[in-house]
Structure 1
Amino acid sequence: MVAQLLTPAYLPFAIAFVVMIGIGLIEAIGLGVGHLDLEAEIGADADGGVLDWLGLGDDLPILIWLTSLLGCFTLAGTAIQQVATSFYGAPLPWRPASGAAFVVGALLNTLAANGLARIMPGFETTVISTDDLLRCRGTMLEGTARRGSPARAKVVDRYGQAHFIMVEPHDDGDVISPGETALLVRREGKLFFALPDGNTLLQSI
Structure 2
Amino acid sequence: MTDVLLSPTNFWFSIALIAVFFVFILELISTVFGASLLGLGDDFAEVDGEGFINTSLANWLNINKVPFLIFLVVLLTFFGLSGLIINGVAASVFGVAFSAIVSVPLAFIAALLITAKTVNIISRLLPSVESSAVNSDDFIGSVAEITIGRASRGNPAEAKFTDHYSQPHFVLVEPFEEEELFAQGERVILVQKNQHSWLATRYQ
Q: TM-score, normalised by structure 2?
A: 0.58
**Higher fraction of helix:** 2
Sequence identity of aligned pairs in percent?
Answer: 22
What residue number does 1:151 align with?
none
1:124 aligns with 2:129: yes
2:59 paired residue among 44, 52, 58: 52
What residue number does 1:40 align with?
42
What residue number does 1:160 align with?
148
Question: Displacement of 1:40 after TM fit?
Answer: 3.1
Question: Displacement of 1:113 after TM fit?
Answer: 0.7
**Is the Cα contact below 8 Å between 1:51 and 1:57 reproduced in 2?**
yes
Residue type of the alignment partner of 2:62: G
- How many residues were matched structurally? 143
- Correspondence list, 1:1-205, <5 A: 1-30=1-30, 34-36=35-37, 37-38=39-40, 40=42, 46-47=53-54, 49-58=56-65, 60-120=66-126, 122-125=127-130, 158-161=146-149, 186-187=177-178
Question: Partners in 1 of 2:70 and 2:25 — Cα distance?
Answer: 13
The structure-2 alpha-carbon separation of the partners of 1:119 and 1:33, relative to structure 1 and needing over 3 Å to count, comes to: closer
Q: TM-score, normalised by structure 1?
A: 0.58
The C-alpha deviation readout for 1:42-73, integer Å capped at 9, x for no partner, is: 77985561111112132x10111111001110
The structure-2 alpha-carbon separation of the partners of 1:90 and 1:164, relative to structure 1 and needing over 3 Å to count, comes to: farther
Residue type of the alignment partner of 2:147: Y
Max radius of gyration: which structure? 1
RMSD across aligned positions (CA): 3.4
Question: Partners in 2 of 1:52 and 1:114 — Cα distance?
Answer: 11
